[in-house]
Structure formats: C-alpha cells, structure tokens
Amino acid sequence: MELSELELEELRRFRTEPEADDIRYKQIIKKKLLANNKIIYLLHNKELEDEGAEPDEYFNINILPYYLISPTQHKVMNFICFETSQGEVSRTNSAMKNQQIIFYILCHHSDNNVRELSCARHDMLAAVIIKSFQGCNDFGNQLKLIDNKPSVVDTDYAARTLIFEQIATNSIVNNGKVKNLRVGY
C-alpha cells in the first residue's frame, strides 16, 4: 500500500505537533545528541571514525530512539537509547502531566575504560548527557534529573539509566479544537 503525498505530509507533521509529544521530543533529543561532539567521541565507534562519518550516521547505529539492541552483537559497540514516557496526570488539573525522558546508556565491558580520561565510558556519557539536558527548556518547560542509576545488562554491558522529568501540557487539543478540561475534582 502506498500513501499519497498529502497523507505522508500529514504523518510528517507529527514531528512538530504538541499532541505527538513522543515523536516531537525524540526529534529534539536526536538533534541535541548528534550535535554534541563529546557524545560522538565517547561512543567510540571505530568503524565510523575510520570512515570519517558525519555525526548523523551514528543515529540508528549507536544512538537509538528506543531501548532495544540486537541480542547478537558481533562487534564491540556502545549505545545511547532513549524513550519518552508520560507519568501521572495532575489530579487537580487534568491539563497537566509529568513527562519523562529516559536515557539508557550501554557500554560494552571491553570498551568501557576511557584511557585518556581515566574513567568508565558509561559514567562519562551520563555526565555529558546530564550537562546537556539538566535544566534545559528545549521541550517547553525546564527538565530536571530525577533518577540516575547504574546497572548491568547480561554479562556484556555496563549501563546507566537517567530519567529527566518536566511538567507538560496534557493533550489539550483534539482534532484542532481545545478539549473541555476538568480542573479540580
């Protein structure tokens, strides 16, 4: 099945519409991560480095807009995966919600030591992401870091999960019209 150009354009608009927070936020996150040379450096993809790859070539290889990596890894790789999540809606104002941005940083154990910096790669990537996202207003309201936890994924990856949160509007438009919102109980 093919879509008309008009239908494709309608789908493309989801990247900027307030009602499609997940898609819009992921576009912003992608731009911020790929524009940060320190992140590209720390991902340490030797193959892309040797090819002289542009930062956007790391997307869908080392930077993924979902938390899922191939179960069979033939190369040593490091990843930044990200997701968005809607927390609870305010009980006193249904027009507001807690919006979360979650980063999963996974670094292969055999490439987790950054010799030039004398530290673990997953910790350094987390520090750079925190510096870039903590307090930023790129998503409409100020983000704040609410969780920062280390872990391991199977026996191959050291991991760190970062969760940022902001108060955001909650689906206030429905088919181009402002919804009738309940405020209070």
What is the overall mean pLDDT for the chain? 87
Order of strands, edge to edge, in the sheet holding 157-169? 63-64, 78-89, 96-108, 157-169, 144-153
pTM: 0.85
H helix intervals, the chain:
5-12, 21-34, 37-43, 46-51, 121-133
97, 86 contact by CB (below 8 A): yes
- 35-64 pLDDT per residue, tens: 999 999 999 999 999 999 999 999 999 999
User: Does residue 180 surpass a pLDDT of 70?
Assistant: no
Query: Cβ–Cβ contacts within 10 Å for residue 172, how many?
Result: 14
Residue 77 has pLDDT above 50, yes or no: yes
